[in-house]
Structure 1
């Protein structure tokens, strides 16, 4: 047994004093859908609803004897890492200072405070995460405490690797001596990915591993393609739990041997469809990053999946339900069930009746707004239409063309869509 596997096993044993192992569950719905045996490692069921508690616990527990009793553990985060550090500070009865951006939703601030109770102090600093992180670093540099990094530290990596250490033991109970054919792991800063992949290699399984990133924040893919540690200039932050512009330096070192072909990038709006599907069919609440590994299955051919045993790491379920309307909106647009149009409506009586006559029983107008009224022959109107089958729009657009009115589909014109909608 390698030193790393020993350290991970030790960390896993210590975690049993904090919470019970998260389940490894065979999911019947996904198994039938993909004609495979799909198992979910449910990290959304930890006390803080994400795997982040593992790395935070291992880091703090290893630092306790190396810092003074009065030293505070410091982190900068607006999400799961903050909650993990807060929970662990309360568990060890040690002071924690959590730096969060001023723009952090109140719901996340409240949850972080609940986990840490009287042992933590929350400081709202900066409009962006980078500004917040700089403030936390300055605080630590001035002797204010010990920084608990989110991913770029071997103690964090070791803690996150307990996900697979647990899953391996559970797998043996469920499947005997067989190994998974494939493991899929989501990637943000790389702590989970580097921990799981390194444990997999040193544990001795011959299982194939693939990593999944959002299309708009594929930092690991960029590094592997460039064969060096790089930072993305711009990222899409919608999948906030995995939207990291620069993977950790240590994490990249541990992952640099992989081919870019091992990375699956998934569109943000498709992830929304997966979230809605899991909520409606399975009653499972996932955050966007937590749905990445499930969504990645849609990018793999049916032949590659058929008959295989696949282990998916479900990284978290901290979902703010205030985001649900946006999630549903993005899901419908991705499936082609909702579109936005700008029409030039003729300015005379009966125009609206003529337009409504083009719609079928399954077509529903969910938004209707005059953008500009004038004395001109045509007035601009924003119309959003939902339908039950995406091919209904083929018929609709033929009908629109027959009307002879000017119109434009702005559903996928991101610049115009963001401006108007």
Structure 2
């Protein structure tokens, strides 16, 4: 029997509608699986109006400062880590290269800012390391050991990919440099790096472009390179973090060892950045922090100590407490999350119901916290489920809420 042409068209049209409908159901289910929401209540002491929005920076700070030590030199553990975190700074210590990577032998109480909830947090840096250089021997080695890297990581320092061998010369396999370093850190420290720092050195013209391409293609969210955006970012509104390539700037000691004029110039630059009305994020680098200016690309320890101590006195706990001294990865992940959450709140007299829609957070993210800026003249308390970790300053300054996400 011959089927009329119009019936064939009708059948096909019905099939397409049914197929599209089933796809919409699948997409809706997938979307609901990827996003989730959390909620809690704010109990006010008065019925004054409340305004709630994500804070530009964690802890509602005005200034985020990220500082990275390139190449994984041991001076990071011998001097920088104990100075900032608190502990015994190494005595002068000559390594296998006859270079002094030690410090002044003093004991540091640590350098801190506060979280706004009455807790001190030590200054934290990032390490850009080459897995091929990390080793336990010799005793006077120039590079970090796995145990030292792990201790700093556990203290909140972030680890960035710097290539497995720090290779830059003609013939470098850029893909292998990126992926082998990722594998090395995963095998030895059990986490996956997600940000890349291009190694500096002699190489083919614009070799850094190859590193940028391979790093972004193989799962890194950002790359610090020779040229790019930044290093100062205004963060009041949404920041374009997609496949971010940033310009890398360095803090270096000069040949003049009679004072701290060079460090004062760097500090003056920071002061001009901090004075901007809008909240900002600033990112800088150096190499070694021992007594010798390693490769003339480093900070001598007296300069490093003077510089970091000056920052702490002016912007940290003992100063105006405006700085969030955190590694590049931590600040990046905060801003990424801040720009993707949706905050909704409904107030009825002294009770505020807050609902936050969360995005799907990448598995490699280490830091999953969000600060909310609370605008109210009233003191308050938080009512939430036991599995939601929330801090608030409702009984003191009543300006912020910090949420820890799982």
What range is the shorter-chain TM-score in?
under 0.3
**More strand, by proportion:** 2
State the structure with bigger RCO (CA 8 A, min sep 6), 1 or 2.
2
Q: Select the structure that is richer in helix.
A: 1
Give the TM-score of the pair, scaled to structure 1: 0.24
**TM-score, normalised by the number of residues in structure 2:** 0.25
